Every structure is written in C-alpha cells, then in structure tokens.
Amino acid sequence: MDAGLKLKKATYHLWTFTISKLISSFGAQVYTFAISFYILQATGSATSFATNLICNLLPRTLAAPFAGYLVDRYSRKRIIIVAQIATTLAIGGLLAVSLTSGLSLTAIYATSCILSLTSMFSGVTFTSSVTGLVDEARVQRAMSLNQMSISFASIASPAVGGLLYGAVSMPIFLMTYMIASVIAVLLESTMNFNLYANRKETAEGEPKESMWQSMKAGVSYLKLQPLLMVIIWVSLLINFLFGAFEVGYSFVLIEKLKMASQHFGFTQGAFAVGMLLFSIYFSIRKEVQFPLVVSKRGIIGMGVIMGMMALPLLIKLSYNGAFGYYTLAMFVFGALVIIVNTPIQVMMQKQIADDYKGRVFSIVETMAMALMPLGMVLYGFLYDIFPAQWILISSAALLVGVVLVMVRPSVIKNAHPELGEGKALKTEASVVS
C-alpha cells in the first residue's frame, strides 16, 4: 500500500479507535454505575458489592493466558468483533430477565462474568493491535486518545447515571449499553488491524506450536525483559492492596455517608476529569524517558490519596464539605492513574515484538490481577466487620511501603542502566521526567 494512503488509513484508525472506545465505554460505565448502585441499595452489603467486583475480575484473570495465545495465533479483528457481539448478547439476556422476572443477584453475577471475559478479550486484542493500526510515531498519541475516550465516557456516564438513577428503569440503562455495543461493532468492522503489523507468517509445512508451547514461549520472552518483570511483581501486590479502595470508596460514600446518587456520580466524574486532562497532556508532550521512575512516584501518590479517603470518617465534615473533599481527591487520583499508566503502556508497545504482544499483555494482565479477587473477598468481609477508616489507612501505608521496597533505587538503576547511582536518586525527585 502507498505510504501516503497508509498514513491516511492510520489517521482514520486513530479516530475510529477513539470513537469506538468512547461509545462502548460510555455504555459500560452507565451499566457499571447502575448495577453498583442497585446492589448497594438493594442489599446494603459490602460483601455483595465485592462479590460482583470478583465476578468482574476472576474470569478474566483465569482466561487471560488463553486469550493471549488466541490473539497471537488468530485474526485480531475477528476476535474483537466476536467479543463485542457477545457483550451485546449478554446485556440482551439480562434485559430479558429484568423484563420477565426482575433482576436478581444471580443474573447480575452471571452477566458480570460474561462481560468480564468479553472485555478482557477485547482489551488484550486492542492493546496488542495498536502498533498494527497506527505508525510508530503516533503510538503515544493513540494510547493517550484511547485513555481520553475512556476518561470522557467516565466523566459523562456517572453524572448521567446519577441524574437518571431512580428516574428511569433499569431496562433503559441496559438498552443504552446494548445500542452502544452495536455501534462499536460497526465501527470496528471497518478497521484494518494489519496496516502496520509486523507479525511473522508461519511458512507452509512448518509445524505450528501447540497452545502450551506458545504460552511457554511467551513466558520465556517475558523473562528476558527485566523492566516488565519489575512491573508485573509490583502490580501483583499493589492491585491486591487497591482492593481496599475498590470496595471501600463506594461503600463509604453510599453506605456510611449516605451520599446521593447524583453527587456520588459527580465524584466519579471528577476522577475521570483528572484522567482526561492528563491524557491530553500526554498526547501532546514528548515520550517519558524513565517510565519506572514516573510510575513509582505516581503509585506513592495514589497510596497517599487512598489513605486520605478516610479523613471525613475521622473528622466530621458537612455534607457539602465531604462532597467537595471527595471530588478533589478523586480528581487528583485520576490524574495519578494516567501518570502511572501511560508511560509504561507506551514503553511496552514499543519494546514488545508484535508476535508476542498478545501473550505478554495477557500474562501481565493475569499477574496484575491474580490477587485482586482475593483482595475483593478479604476487603468485602473486613468492611462489614471493622471501621472503614482504619482499613483504608493501614492498606495505604502497606501500599507505600511495598513500592518503596520493590522499586528501590538499585532496581531503577537495573531497569534504566543509563542512570548512575546518584542520577537514579536525583531523577526520582521528578514526577514526570
């Protein structure tokens, strides 16, 4: 294909990819908001809420290694389209249940399991396909625009969901998600996932790897990437401890502080605004030079914010004061998420070979989420037994301690050999270098 035509097609991919993500993310966010609020209001139990979170995490954690094999072996475009169609059918099934016999926790949990699998397949495939959809010079912009679309959906959907919750029926929420999913399928079907791909073709007569051999090859490849290994082990423990925030944030605001649905939605919207603004920043700035340093500082900041979530439970604030406090805290938290994730994601896109991306990204996702279901179960029980403020503070302290130990200056020097001992320490003083 002519170089100029490829660049035009890449530009089309850049915006189609962004719009597709925006539409599907908006539907998913509206659905998640409505279901989370429904469970907490119907049961009042952090355990029931945590169980739904587990249904969103456990299936994708178990299936991710197999998804990586399929993504590297078969058509990535076909996998994404099938996953999006399955999402539409799953929501349609829950809609049928709600109209015939009413929503039940069993139906919600089953749907969450299916959506967990479809979103995992879609997410791993899209992540593995970025360098096939756009030219290398625009990889950071593509990742930033992708995050911007998710952030924009996160801003609008909780606010809309909070305003509409109670004013419209649950079937309206489900129908919104279905329509968004169908539009996403149509957009994704027009994209060429092999435009810039550099995947090795299997020669005729050459024996194909078995699934087990392919997965072992992915692990072997990953072991040769020291920076990725550091990211994986840090993610394993950090995401476990973030269970305190995942369960506790909604539980504290809805159950303990009795925050109205529209105000709760606006605090989530503030989180998305922080993500959006920093996604825009990363879409126009040059590539971060030392991703691990930036991520370390960002995670420490997230730990501090998580501990500060307990403050309104220790110091009595007015309703408006608590609302403003959590809005500001969530804005900062959203900004820190982008500071942590974007540099690492761009580095991984450029460092990992196309033939291994599906397997490597699936392994990274599996390891990052391996302890999250356990964390959801544990924190679900803890919040029903112990004061929420002490759970948040102790978990935040553990999180900061883990990062300081696992990403110490010697580890940073090994991950970034161009940094000397003194320079490694000096560089850590900058959040975005």
- Contact status, residue 123 vs residue 17, Cβ threshold 8 Å: no
Backbone angles phi, psi at 396, to 5 degrees: -65, -40
> What are the chain's domains?
3-190+212-427 (1.20.1250.20)
The full DSSP string for 83-151 is: HHHHHHHHHHHHHHHHHHT---HHHHHHHHHHHHHHHHHHHHHHHHHHHHHS-GGGHHHHHHHHHHHHH
CA-CA-CA-CA torsion sign (88, 148, 153, 383): positive
Cα–Cα distances in angstroms (integers) from residue 417 to residues 132, 353, 412, in the given order: 29, 21, 8
- Strands, DSSP E only, in 217-294? none
- Position 400 scores a pLDDT of 92
The C-alpha angle 227, 276, 261, rounded to 5 degrees, equals 115
CA–CA separation, 250 and 264 (whole Å): 8
CA–CA separation, 26 and 149 (whole Å): 9
Residues 6 or more apart whose CB falls under 8 angstroms from that of 9 comprise 1, 192, 195
**Helix, strand, coil % in the chain, rounded to nearest 5:** 80, 0, 15
- Contact status, residue 389 vs residue 245, Cβ threshold 8 Å: no
Q: In a structure prediction context, what are the per-residue pLDDT tens digits for the chain, which is 433 residues long?
A: 567 787 888 788 888 877 887 777 777 777 777 777 778 777 777 777 778 777 877 787 788 778 888 888 888 889 989 988 998 899 899 888 888 887 788 888 888 888 888 888 887 888 788 878 877 777 777 777 777 776 666 666 666 666 666 666 777 777 877 887 888 888 888 888 887 776 665 444 455 667 777 778 877 887 777 777 888 888 888 888 888 888 888 888 888 888 887 788 788 778 878 888 888 888 787 777 788 888 889 999 999 999 999 898 888 889 899 999 999 999 999 899 888 888 888 777 777 877 788 888 777 777 776 677 778 778 888 888 888 889 999 999 999 998 998 888 887 877 677 765 555 455 555 544 4
CA-CA-CA-CA torsion sign (360, 365, 368, 373): negative
168 beta partners = 165
CA–CA separation, 216 and 204 (whole Å): 23
Query: Which of 15, 34, 45, 102 is CA-nearest to residue 268?
Result: 34
- Contact status, residue 65 vs residue 363, Cβ threshold 8 Å: yes
Backbone angles phi, psi at 243, to 5 degrees: -60, -30
Backbone angles phi, psi at 235, to 5 degrees: -60, -40
- Torsion, CA 359, CA 361, CA 363, CA 366, rounded to 10: -140
Q: Which residue in this structure is represented by tokens 């039940």?
A: 104
Cα–Cα distances in angstroms (integers) from residue 25 to residues 113, 152, 245, in the given order: 17, 9, 22
- Centroid of chain to Cα 348: 16
- Strands, DSSP E only, in 77-176? none
Cα–Cα distances in angstroms (integers) from residue 350 to residues 128, 233, 375, in the given order: 11, 21, 32
Number of alpha carbons in the 13 Å side-chain half-sphere of residue 277:
11
CA–CA separation, 414 and 290 (whole Å): 12
Residues 6 or more apart whose CB falls under 8 angstroms from that of 119 comprise 28, 60, 83, 87
- Position 161 scores a pLDDT of 67
Would you give the DSSP letter of residue 252?
I
CA–CA separation, 371 and 236 (whole Å): 6
